[in-house]
Each structure stands twice: as C-alpha cells, then as structure tokens.
C-alpha cells in the first residue's frame, strides 16, 4: 500500500528536507515519528528537497507499507503529538502504487517574503531588507523571466540535473497594505537554489544596480557567476504542490 502525506513545517531548525549526516532534517524527523507510531520502519519520499531554513506551507511525501492502516483523525493527532511543534501533518491518504510524490507532481508554487521593518516575532520567517525597491521594475524583470525556459544562470553550480529547463506559469511581486513584499513564482519544476537566486538578482534590479537589459543578458548567458547572490533562506516558502485530480481523489482532511 502506498500513502501520501500532506504536511507543513517551519524550516528554521532543520538542515533542509533531505536526511543529513551532520544535522536534523524534516525527512528524518518525519520518518522517526511515523516509525514510532506505526511500529514498523517507514521511509518517506518528498515532492522536493527544500534547503536549510526554507519553510513549507504545503509539502507532500509518500511511503509504502505491506499492510493497510486505518486512517482517522485520532491517527493524525497521535502522530502530530510525536512530531515537534514546527512540523504538522494535515492528512494521510491512499494512492495508487505508481503515484509518486516527486515525479507525479505537475507544479510547485513558491513565495518569498520581505519586510522593510524588523519584527521580533518573524525574524526567522521573513527577510528584513531595508533599502527602497522599485517594484514596477522588478515586475518588468518578471516579464522578461517568463520569456525563457532555461535557467542555468540561477542554478547552483553543483546541481546534479540532466537539463536546466523549467516551464514558468507566473512570476510577479506584490506589496501588501502592511508593507510586506511577496514574490510569487510557479513552475513545473525548480532548480537547486533557483528561487533564492532569482530573488537576490531582482533585489539588485529593484535598487537600480542592474539594468533590465543586463538581466536578460545574464539569463541568455547561462552563467551562474554573473547572477546576483542568493537571498537568505528564511524568507522562502513552498506554498503549493500540484497533482492530477485523480491522484488526490481519496484525499480527506482530518481535524
């Protein structure tokens, strides 16, 4: 039997999603809780590998069991009681044997949050960035970004991938009434470090330190060394992972 887990987490205390030899990860913490509650070894596969300090409002993972389990609100509650406060399971539901948390996903949607004012309650949840930014120019850069599909210039050099192509659905900046600046971006896939590097580069544009022409040139150049520095991890959130409707057919929310 294969099951999907829908969960969320605050990534501040973790060395990313993937199990690490030198620190705690969301994956290993989740596996330990499931193993303890289900009384059998459980290994999970996530929809993607968020970096150290990155948060997820919605993440999916799958695991396999020989025997079916009785899904209920009590089961979800008991696992959440084992998990630390910064990881929460929303639901667990059965899927087909060939459904895969990573390879069956059709989209990922990220947000990056920036505030100009220091907030002692959100210091690890937003990026405190004081300089004024020209949001209109940053949104013009988004329109340039949407023209392309190869984003090697925004990928970490050590990325182990066959290609650097991604299909972007949207990319834009939005300012709220509380002066929270949010970058929205959705694609079928993302490269390692891609969103944070795009944000860091667009902050250069917003401060008039990089022209729109130069921004387009660096995309075409496919050279990470000429893009901006990556923005800090604490402002980045995985917000939504998209799947075909038939995969989510048995998804029931508990609690």
Confidence (pLDDT) at 121: 84
Q: How far is CA 217 from CA 206, 213, 231, in A?
A: 17, 6, 20
Secondary-structure class of domain 107-239 per CATH:
alpha beta
* pLDDT tens sequence across 167-226: 999 999 999 877 899 999 999 999 999 999 999 999 999 999 999 999 999 999 998 888
Pinpoint the residues of the chain covered by CATH 3.30.70.580: 2-104
d(C-alpha 45, C-alpha 79), whole Å: 18
Pairing type for strands 55-64 and 45-46 reads antiparallel
Structural fold of domain 2-104:
Alpha-Beta Plaits (3.30.70)
223 among known catalytic residues: no
Which residue, chain included where needed, has tokens 């969320």? 8
Pairing type for strands 2-9 and 87-95 reads antiparallel
d(C-alpha 82, C-alpha 141), whole Å: 45
Confidence (pLDDT) at 197: 96
Pinpoint the residues of the chain covered by CATH 3.30.70.660: 107-239
d(C-alpha 30, C-alpha 11), whole Å: 13
Say if CB 72 and CB 253 are below 8 A apart.
no
Q: Is 110 annotated as a binding residue?
A: yes
Q: How far is CA 51 from CA 12, 47, 107, 196, 237, in A?
A: 10, 13, 18, 10, 10
DSSP code of 216? H
d(C-alpha 142, C-alpha 232), whole Å: 20
Q: Answer positive or negative: Cα dihedral of 94, 99, 103, 106.
A: negative
Catalytic residue among 51, 132, 169, 223: 51
* pLDDT tens sequence across 223-253: 888 888 999 999 999 999 999 999 999 898 8
């Amino acid at each position: 039997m294969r099951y999907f887990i829908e969960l969320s987490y605050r990534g501040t205390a973790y060395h990313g999603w993937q199990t690490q030899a030198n620190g705690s990860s969301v994956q290993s913490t989740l596996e330990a809780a499931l193993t303890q509650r289900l009384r059998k070894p459980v290994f999970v596969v996530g929809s993607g590998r968020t970096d150290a300090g990155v948060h997820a409002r919605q993440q999916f993972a799958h695991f396999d069991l020989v025997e079916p389990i009785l899904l209920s609100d009590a089961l979800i509650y008991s696992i959440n009681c084992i998990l630390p406060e910064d990881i929460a399971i929303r639901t667990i539901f059965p899927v087909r044997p060939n459904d895969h948390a990573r390879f069956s996903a059709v989209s990922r949607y990220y947000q990056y949050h920036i505030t100009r004012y220091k907030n002692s309650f959100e210091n690890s949840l937003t990026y405190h960035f004081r300089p004024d930014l020209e949001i209109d120019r940053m949104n013009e850069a988004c329109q340039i970004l949407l023209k392309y599909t190869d984003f090697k210039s925004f990928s970490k050099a050590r990325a182990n991938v066959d290609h650097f192509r991604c299909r972007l659905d949207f990319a834009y900046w939005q300012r709220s009434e509380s002066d929270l600046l949010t970058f929205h971006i959705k694609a079928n896939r993302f490269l390692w470090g891609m969103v944070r590097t795009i944000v860091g580069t667009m902050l250069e544009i917003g401060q008039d330190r990089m022209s729109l022409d130069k921004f387009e040139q660096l995309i075409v150049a496919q050279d990470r060394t000429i893009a901006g520095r990556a923005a800090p991890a604490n402002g980045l959130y995985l917000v939504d992972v998209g799947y075909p409707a038939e995969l989510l057919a048995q998804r029931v929310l508990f609690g």
